[in-house]
């Protein structure tokens, strides 16, 4: 090959390929370099040899930008959400979307011995929970909740408050002999509560809430209890008295559904939500030991026996109506939604019976509704949903 051609090709190769040379101590801004276009990496900068006039020197360099790693996408759940999970997630959305609401009308009364810091935590927790119901109420005026908060040491003080607030037929729910507040055992670490109405459907109506925060209570207010009781705040702030034919599962079932749904975040604590719901299934099985084999007709009989007398559920233990009601309310929520169920509550406020409201709002007789609910309970217990 012609020597001149070889020399030309060699020069062309050098021009097209300007190597990045290893960093060395002489590479700095303005220092001499030996060949235009060569590069040197020092620290987080790449310097380039440039020419100005007859001088060759290193320029200011460019900062090396490391590529941002592409985030790994969270894999979608490998399971299909069950009907009850969709209900729970919708309730969580209700709560989260309502946090721009104002403050529910509470009137607070704190005992001399209650832990003030824990009482403040409890008030804040209930305020957050009640925002969900303020969104449902949509500006409607409601009766305030008169809320008494005390410690397990305050039996005498509590009784004075009850006598003062409930002059007619006071409800002494705190038994000092057993130290039970309703169905909740009081202790240093207790967080218990109950509510009572006073002179319903009169101008003197009051909804009274009582809570005991144990003097040794160290946890944050239990979210199940808070959201359960908040449903009752909502219910009894809207309607002062329930229809005499209202099934016993109705009032406690709604509270149990919201308390259970909001006890754990289903998205991040699915196993805990499943375990919580299984506990409620076991409560039902305690009182209906053959629940897993019941047919729709069997459940209809159970439901029919839960209508009279009113909410007290004579012959059935409290926890059974809570648990059975929670599963029934999963059906009501899924099929009718919270806005229509609020209209049901307004029907009660207007004096309608449950049978009338079922016909008007669900387009079902009570017997037809019982069949629908019985089929849902078969879906849960016999079919394992």
pLDDT tops 80 at residue 131: yes
Q: CA angle 178-172-315, nearest 5°?
A: 75
Domain co-membership, 246 together with 232: no
Q: Which of 181, 206, 239 is the last residue of a domain?
A: 239
Q: Are residues 154 and 176 in the same domain?
A: yes
Judged against a pLDDT cut of 90, whether residue 63 lies above it is answered with no
Nearest to 52 by CA among 65, 36, 38: 36
Which string of DSSP letters, residue by residue, matches 141-158? --PPEEEEEE-TT-HHHH
Question: Does residue 3 lie in a domain region?
Answer: no
Domain match, 285 and 203 both: no
Considering the domain boundaries, does residue 174 fall inside one?
yes
Q: 101 and 205 share a domain? A: yes
CATH number of the domain where residue 194 is located: 3.40.30
Q: Is residue 70 part of a domain?
A: no
Domain holding 48, by residue range, is: 20-60
179 and 225 assigned to the same domain: yes
pLDDT tens, position by position, 66-88: 666 666 665 656 668 999 999 99
Same domain? For 189 and 319 the reply is no
| pLDDT value of residue 25 | 45
Query: Helix or strand or coil: residue 375?
Result: helix
345-357 core/surface letters (b: 16 or more CB in 10 A; e: else): bebbeeebebbbb
Dihedral sign for Cα 41, 45, 51, 56, please.
negative
pLDDT at 100 over 90: yes
Please check whether residues 231 and 297 belong to one and the same domain: no
| Pair 267, 332 in one domain | yes
What are the structure tokens assigned to 147, written together? 């809320």
Using one digit for the tens of pLDDT, what is the confidence trace for 328-373?
999 999 999 999 999 999 999 999 999 999 999 999 999 999 999 9
Mean pLDDT of 252-260: 95
The number of distinct structural domains making up the chain is: 3
Q: Is residue 82 part of a domain?
A: no
Whether residue 220 is found in the same domain as residue 254: no
Residue 80 placed within a domain: no
DSSP per-residue string spanning 88-104: HHHHHHHHHHTTTS---
pLDDT of 121 > 90? The answer is yes
Average pLDDT over residues 204-224: 90
Question: Residue 24: pLDDT band by 50, 70, 90 thresholds?
Answer: very low
Instruction: Give the end of a domain, one of 60, 77, 110.
Output: 60
Looking at the structure, tell me whether residues 276 and 348 fall in a common domain: yes
What residues contact 200, with CB distance under 8 A and at least 6 apart? 240, 241
Residues 234, 258 share a domain: no
- Average per-residue pLDDT in the chain? 86
Is residue 286 assigned to a domain? yes
Query: Has residue 163 been placed in a domain?
Result: yes
Domain end point (choices 180, 213, 239): 239
Q: Are residues 344 and 317 in the same domain?
A: yes
Using the 8-state DSSP alphabet, how is residue 69 labeled? P
Whether 34 is covered by a domain: the verdict is: yes
């Amino acid at each position: 090959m012609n020597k001149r051609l070889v020399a030309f090709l060699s020069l062309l190769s050098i021009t097209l390929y300007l190597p990045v040379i290893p960093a060395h101590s002489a590479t700095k801004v303005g220092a001499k370099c030996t060949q235009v276009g060569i590069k040197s990496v020092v620290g987080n900068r790449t310097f380039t040899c440039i020419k100005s006039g007859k001088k060759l020197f290193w320029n200011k360099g460019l900062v090396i930008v490391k590529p941002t790693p592409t985030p790994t996408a969270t894999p979608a759940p490998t399971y299909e959400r069950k009907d009850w999970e969709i209900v729970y997630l919708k309730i969580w959305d209700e709560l989260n979307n309502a946090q721009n609401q104002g403050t529910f009308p509470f009137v607070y009364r704190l005992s001399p011995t209650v832990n003030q810091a824990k009482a403040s935590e409890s008030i804040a927790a209930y305020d957050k929970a009640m925002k969900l119901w303020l969104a449902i109420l949509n500006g409607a005026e409601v009766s305030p909740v008169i809320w008494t908060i005390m410690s397990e040491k305050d039996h005498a003080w509590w009784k004075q408050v009850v006598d003062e607030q409930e002059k007619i037929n006071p409800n002494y729910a705190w038994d000092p002999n057993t130290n039970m507040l309703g169905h909740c055992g009081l202790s240093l670490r207790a967080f218990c509560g109950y509510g009572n109405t006073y002179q319903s459907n009169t101008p003197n109506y009051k909804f009274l809430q009582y809570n005991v925060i144990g003097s040794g209570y160290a946890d944050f207010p239990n979210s199940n209890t808070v959201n359960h009781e908040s449903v009752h705040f909502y219910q009894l702030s809207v309607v002062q008295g329930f229809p005499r034919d209202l099934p016993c599962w109705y009032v406690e079932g709604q509270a149990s559904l919201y308390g259970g749904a909001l006890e754990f975040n289903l998205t991040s604590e699915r196993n805990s939500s499943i375990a919580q719901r299984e506990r409620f299934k076991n409560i039902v099985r305690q009182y209906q030991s053959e629940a897993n084999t019941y047919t729709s007709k069997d459940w209809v009989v159970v439901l029919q026996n839960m209508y009279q007398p009113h909410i007290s559920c004579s012959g059935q233990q409290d926890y059974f109506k809570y648990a059975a009601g929670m599963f029934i309310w999963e059906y009501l929520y899924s099929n009718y939604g919270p806005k229509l169920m609020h209209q049901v509550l307004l029907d009660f406020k207007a004096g309608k019976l449950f049978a009338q409201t079922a016909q008007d709002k669900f387009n079902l007789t009570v017997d037809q509704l019982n069949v629908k609910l019985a089929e849902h309970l078969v879906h849960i217990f016999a079919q394992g949903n």
